[in-house]
Amino acid sequence: MHASEAQLIDLNRRIKATRWPERETVTDASQGVQLATMQKLARYWATDYDWRKVEARLNALPQFVTEIDGVDIHFVHVRSKDANALPLIVTHGWPGSIIEQLKIIGPLTDPAAHGGPASDAFDIVIPSLPGYGFSGKPTATGWDPVRIARAWVILMKRLGYTRYVAQGGDWGNAVTEQMALLAPPELIGIHTNMPATVPDDIAQALKLGEPAPAGLSADEKHAFDQLDYFYKHGLGYALEMANRPQTLYGIEDSPVGLAAWMLDHDAASQALIARVFDGQSEGLTRDDVLDNVTLYWLTNAAISSSRLYWENKLNFFAPKHVAIPVAVSVFPDEIYAAPQIWTAKAYPKLIHYNRLPKGGHFAAWERPQAFSEEVRVSFRSLR
């Protein structure tokens, strides 16, 4: 992919021409992404950011496009030099993209060069979801996580893989779990960093706005409180995209509007990104954040990516009764940190469960070393 100079000049012009609102009337982020954060982001985007750097990184990777079910599917496909590498398909979510996974390609395809055993090598396939990034945009309805899962099974078959594993978080988890439910014989296990484990009684209490059920452990009560906060204060973007994605013309037309919409995914990630633009050292850099936003902008994906929320009919966090081996990595600043007791009930063939000391929703992007180590350990027993 090569963005034209005209596209980049237009982007820069639009950033500089942003019509700013007044400052929020509170001293925290309870009204949304704060004005100071967005102005710092816009200033850096317009004056110091260089898209060509990440464009060169992307173009150095083996990338392909194949048509599946009438839609062009773009994917990165990096084969390990190890002849015994285990094939792995990794699926991103929203507001993510293949940018999220760039840092894990090296550690997973060449673990020996990144502090791991050579025997843990993977061939890695990273597709762009339909309507996202460089994949085509569906022109008809029906592209929900189930259909995407079918497409991924076809993709891995086309690549000639007769034995592989899958990984995902966010929408990537929804797709990966649906792949497991389709039960292609080639898929031998999955790993998730955003598991669907919420028991029915917990889900019902959250839906009705009731207090947490009695008798919960500390981990369960913490997870309940995280979900309660998310449903009450952090779900606005998802509700709009699930109901009226086509109405979001503003984020298709304004780069700063798009960036703010994408930053407001979850409170912990938003706080981390605000610290990044305050100059603090975090797992992400300013360039990391803007690489992802700029990809959405240049591919005109604001609305086409949103439609996945409209298409989805699945209960996101409800257990799906996955029967094949499942590995789970829990990062503390995820939307909810799944307790082990919920996880073991949701996945009867749980082969790995670990709670990490640090990290959030964008685990592969923010904590690539820890994430890569988790993936290696998770699938070791299936090789």
Among candidate residues 311, 329, 349, the one where a domain is terminated: 311
Q: Would you state the structure tokens that stand for residue 364, as one six-digit string? A: 């592969």
CA–CA separation, 104 and 366 (whole Å):
10
109 and 187 part of one domain: yes
What would the two tokens of residue 237 be?
């973007």
Number of domains in the chain: 2
Model confidence at 104, pLDDT cuts 50, 70, 90, reads very high
Of the residues 311, 336, 355, which one is the last residue of a structural domain? Answer: 311
Q: Is residue 306 domain-resident?
A: yes
| Residue 260 pLDDT class (50, 70, 90 cuts) | very high
Cis-peptide, bond into residue 195, ω within 30° of zero: no
109: which 2 tokens? 């395809």
Q: Which residue blocks in the chain are alpha helix, DSSP H? A: 5-16, 35-47, 51-59, 102-109, 145-158, 171-182, 200-208, 218-229, 236-243, 249-253, 255-263, 267-277, 286-298, 302-311, 340-346, 363-366, 368-379
Domain interval for residue 278: 5-52+232-311
Residue-wise pLDDT for 165-194, tens only, equals 999 999 999 999 999 999 999 999 999 999
Residue 171 and residue 262 share a domain = no
User: Which of these three, 267, 291, 311, is where a domain ends?
Assistant: 311
CA distance 293 to 251: 11
pLDDT per residue as tens digits for the range 19-45: 999 999 999 999 999 999 999 999 999
Read off the pTM.
0.97
Same domain (yes/no): 60, 37 = no
Contact, 360 vs 269, CB < 8 A?
A: yes
Q: What is the mean pLDDT of residues 213-232?
A: 96
**Residues catalogued as catalytic:** 170, 309, 361
Q: Are residues 111 and 173 in the same domain?
A: yes
Q: Is residue 227 domain-resident?
A: no
Strand boundaries in 173-297, DSSP class E: 187-192
Asked if the structure places residue 324 within a domain, the reply is: yes
On the question of pLDDT at 208 being above 90, the answer is: yes
Please give the pLDDT value at position 1. Answer: 78
Residue 364 has pLDDT above 90, yes or no: yes
pLDDT in tens, 110-157: 999 999 999 999 999 999 999 999 999 999 999 999 999 999 999 999
Which residue from 351, 340, 344 is spatially nearest to 380, judged by alpha carbons?
351
* Summary mean pLDDT of the chain: 97
